[in-house]
Amino acid sequence: MPPNPLISIITINYNGLNDTSELIESIHTHVHSVSYEIIVVDNASKEDEATKLKEKYPSINVISSKVNRGFSGGNNLGIKQAKGIFILLLNNDTYVADDSFHYLIETFAKSPSIGIVCPKICFATERQCIQYAGYTPLSNITLRNKTIGLGEEDNGQYDNPYNTAYAHGAALMISREAINAIGLMPEIFFLYYEEIDWSTSAKEHGYEIWYNGHCTVFHKESQSTGQLSALRTFYMTRNRLLYALRHKKGIVQWITILYLTTIAATKNSIQFIIKKRFDLAAATYKGIMAFMWLPNKLTK
């Protein structure tokens, strides 16, 4: 590894000029100990935000997509133009408050088998409690897991690096070597679950995923259940099934899919109906139907 490897920081902008600008300015203000380039992929925003970003920040690389390629497709556009040895994917609604990206690079130096490293992610609220300090593994049939540290006050209890089950899509650093081995992000997911799938593919290729809490990224995502939407429910339902199809084998695969389309879907729908969220109940079954109609060649 060279002494000061280039980091390609990639973020996706979709009708989020103010958030994207705050992220860029936080990086310019705080990050000085590493070499980096910033790539912004405008995912077909309604207004010409790509031009505004180019004019406001002439030193960054802005890629304008004529269609919304989703989270994975947008990031892949950026990865294809990235020059760095390491690729740092950041949601545009995140920001940094210190110069700590070097801790992520130092984690890679621990072992050549480390392919992805994630920072601590904290909610950008007054309390700034933890959103992510790693994940536990998905259960074999139900595909459920826990987020380590979620909702806890950050008192440094999750600062030290350790191996974790999956990366978090809001902030992850991956090596160019790992991308060359496992390929780009799977674009069939469009939204949600693509980082879980990518993490699983990395582990299937012999790479480890690590977390290092000495680096912190702040995320503006809401802690409340108000973030639930029909769009999110649709893609989470469809993509959890797609993940099972891509990574489970034999009888376990079919038991998992059967469980998700019957017991889990029924339970979730009843809970939505009790809360009078009929749109979410409908989105659940729309997600199942969309999964069933996916062309087989796209699920590989």
Interval 3-30: pLDDT, tens: 789 999 999 999 999 999 999 999 999 9
Of the candidates 219, 251, 278, which is a domain's last residue?
219
For residue 220, what are its two tokens? Answer: 């503006």
| pLDDT band per the 50, 70, 90 thresholds, residue 227 | low
Of the candidates 219, 252, 278, which is a domain's last residue?
219
The reply to whether 238 and 213 lie within a common domain is no
Q: What is the dihedral of CA 124, 130, 135, 139, to 10 degrees?
A: -100
Interval 75-126: pLDDT, tens: 999 999 999 999 999 999 999 999 999 999 999 999 999 999 999 999 998 8
Q: Say if 214 falls within a structural domain.
A: yes
Helix (H, G, I), strand (E, B) or coil at 110: coil
The reply to whether 104 and 248 lie within a common domain is no
| CA distances, 67 to each of 74, 205, 235 (Å) | 10, 32, 19
DSSP 147: B
The reply to whether 246 and 191 lie within a common domain is no
Domain that holds residue 286: 228-294
Q: Say if 191 falls within a structural domain.
A: yes
**CATH code assigned at 72:** 3.90.550.10
Residue 95 is predicted with a pLDDT of 97
Of the candidates 193, 219, 245, which is a domain's last residue?
219
Return the amino acid letter for 259. Y
For residue 68, what are its two tokens? Answer: 């919304």
Whether residue 293 contacts residue 244, with contact meaning beta carbons closer than 8 Å, is answered with no
Give the whole-number percent of the chain exceeding pLDDT 70: 96
Interval 281-295: pLDDT, tens: 999 999 999 999 887
Whether residue 209 contacts residue 163, with contact meaning beta carbons closer than 8 Å, is answered with yes
The reply to whether 252 and 285 lie within a common domain is yes
Domain total of the chain:
2
Q: How many CB atoms are closer than 10 A to CB 209?
A: 25
Phi–psi pair at 228, nearest 5 degrees: -65, 135
The reply to whether 284 and 136 lie within a common domain is no
Q: Say if 164 falls within a structural domain.
A: yes
| pLDDT band per the 50, 70, 90 thresholds, residue 296 | low
Whether residue 25 contacts residue 49, with contact meaning beta carbons closer than 8 Å, is answered with no
Q: Who's near 52: CB < 8 A, 6+ residues apart?
A: 17
Residue 3 is predicted with a pLDDT of 76
pTM: 0.93
The reply to whether 190 and 287 lie within a common domain is no
Helix (H, G, I), strand (E, B) or coil at 293: coil
The reply to whether 132 and 280 lie within a common domain is no
The reply to whether 202 and 170 lie within a common domain is yes
Residue 225 is predicted with a pLDDT of 35
The reply to whether 25 and 58 lie within a common domain is yes
In terms of residues, how long is the chain?
A: 300
Determine the straight-line distance between the first and last CA of the chain, rounded to whole angstroms: 33
